[in-house]
A and B are shown apart, each in its own frame.
Chain A
């Protein structure tokens, strides 16, 4: 157990729908990072939050949004889902910019 908790582990939904992925960071970590991993692809950075505020943004689609709550858990919202959004979505948490971070076990999203 890495200490980073992601729910749900699996999600199957239809095109056009909206889903919410949840992440609880490791105790003491203020930063949360969201990454997308498509089949046979690397990890694509989506967005980072630090202590409740957006800090960095990657190639995140406008249909996607995220937030970090006062208790530091984060949610990634994916709307108007398309087949191409099927992927593994990972959350990671960390302390500060000088270190690596710890990943959760991911949410596997399948859009049908």
Chain B
């Protein structure tokens, strides 16, 4: 079946640098995308979302980019901090879907 996946399972980033987390999706009909952050022992926490009629959306220190041509989604974190260490999941939903489909996740480790 179609699913959302991530390019890399782990990412190590120096504190203060920018992080880029990538996600490839296969369902061209998906029209809603979302990034979640999951810290150890906690539930996933909403970071930012984007609809398919947009290419870019910015939040506080985070930017999501959507490239529908190549079915690619990315999350950029500016000035990465130790508190950003977590597993990041992208998820997608199609227009007829009620549920989000999640990728496998990328573990981000911030080096001091």
- A residues at B contact (CB < 8 Å): 2, 4, 31, 33, 35, 41-43, 45, 48, 50, 55-56, 58, 90, 92, 97-106
Q: Which of A2, A97, A99 has the most CB of B within 10 A?
A: A97
Interface string of B68-102 (1 = CB under 8 A from A): 00000000000000000000010101000111111
Give the tally of cross-chain contacts (CB within 8 A). 56
Can you sample 9 A-B contacts with CB below 8 Å?
A4-B43, A33-B99, A33-B100, A45-B99, A45-B100, A50-B98, A90-B43, A97-B97, A100-B34
Measured in the bound complex, the distance between the Cα atoms of B98 and A58 in whole Å is: 11
Interface string of B37-60 (1 = CB under 8 A from A): 000001111100100000000000
A97 x B104 contact (CB < 8 A): no
Residues of A within 8 A of B101 (CB): 45
Q: How large is the interface on B (under 10, 10 to 19, 20 to 34, 35 or more residues)?
A: 20 to 34
Query: Which 6 pairs between the two chains have the least Cβ-Cβ distance?
Result: A103-B43, A43-B102, A100-B34, A56-B98, A42-B104, A103-B44
CB < 8 Å: which of B46, B97, B105 contacts A42? B105
Closest to A4 in B: B43
Residues of B within 8 A of A41 (CB): 104
Residues of B within 8 A of A104 (CB): 43
A109 to chain B, nearest CB (A): 14
Residues of A within 8 A of B43 (CB): 2, 4, 90, 92, 103-106
Q: A103-B43, A105-B42, A106-B43 are in contact. List 17 more A-B contacts (CB 8 A).
A: A33-B100, A35-B102, A41-B104, A42-B104, A45-B102, A48-B98, A48-B99, A55-B98, A56-B98, A56-B99, A58-B99, A97-B93, A97-B97, A100-B34, A103-B44, A103-B45, A105-B43
B96 to chain A, nearest CB (A): 8
Residues of B within 8 A of A2 (CB): 43, 45
B35 to chain A, nearest CB (A): 9
B100 x A101 contact (CB < 8 A): yes
